[in-house]
Amino acid sequence: MSLTGRRLRVALVNDYEIVVRGLARMLEPFSDRVDVVELDARERVGSAVDVALYDTFAQPQPDDEDVSRLVSNPLNRHVAVFTWKMDQDLIDAALERGATGYLPKSLNAAHLVADLERVAAGERVIHPARARVRSAPGISWPGQHLGISDRESEILGLITQGRSNADIAVLTHLSPNTVKTHIRALYAKIGAENRVDAVLWGTENGFRPDHRSVLLARGQD
């Protein structure tokens, strides 16, 4: 077993409870190797962990201040980013802020666990830049059960946070026309006629985060 006979301790970091619980379910078959701590999306981790796994769902960028806060927290020995966004500039920015793992959501559970163990052992585990990756089986996102795609779900999360189409295009590295295409498809699925309808639907269906960057260590506001 890795880590000199003990299980890897991992904190899951995201604003959405469905995201952290989906990740926890994905890791359950590897409970002999991984101990996931603090699943309550309304509480912050208060104990030391080997790796803080930062899921960037509905966050503006994986290189934003959350990475810096996680890295500066002494309870987190290492920080890894878990994302659909594999652009080189985002990878570089996350590394500059101190992350030592940059992992795509195309990884299945076995490969994710193996990469987390490598990060915990002190390796820098960075997957190559490429176009946005497709989700591996087991990855969950809000609205998935309604047929909302991972991309549409993330866009709805940003809409619910008050982001404009121009903002979303920049934050998702999409063209404005592609953003509009995703929004039209999303509106049809949720029965929205305009942005106000979409924000109301999102708010009523769990798309508004309780607060920013949950599952951080105590005192990291």
Domain boundaries, the chain: 3-126, 144-204
Average pLDDT (22-50) is 82
Q: For helices 150-160 and 176-190, what crossing angle results, to 10°?
A: 90
Per-residue tokens: 47:
């104990």
Which CATH code for domain 3-126?
A: 3.40.50.2300
**Amino acid 87: pLDDT:** 85
Whether residue 213 is predicted with pLDDT greater than 50 in this model: the reply is no
Distances (CA, A) of 138 to 37, 77, 125, 220: 19, 26, 21, 30
Look at residue 218 in the predicted model and tell me its pLDDT. 34
55: which strand partners?
A: 82
Q: Provide the pLDDT confidence category of residue 215 given band limits of 50, 70 and 90.
A: very low
**Overall pTM > 0.85:** no
Nearest to 19 by CA among 37, 36, 41, 34: 41
**Chosen CATH of 144-204 out of 1.10.10.10, 3.30.1370.60, 3.40.190.10, 1.10.357.10:** 1.10.10.10
Beta strand 101-104 with 49-55 is unpaired
| Integer Cα distance of 98 and 78 in angstroms | 9
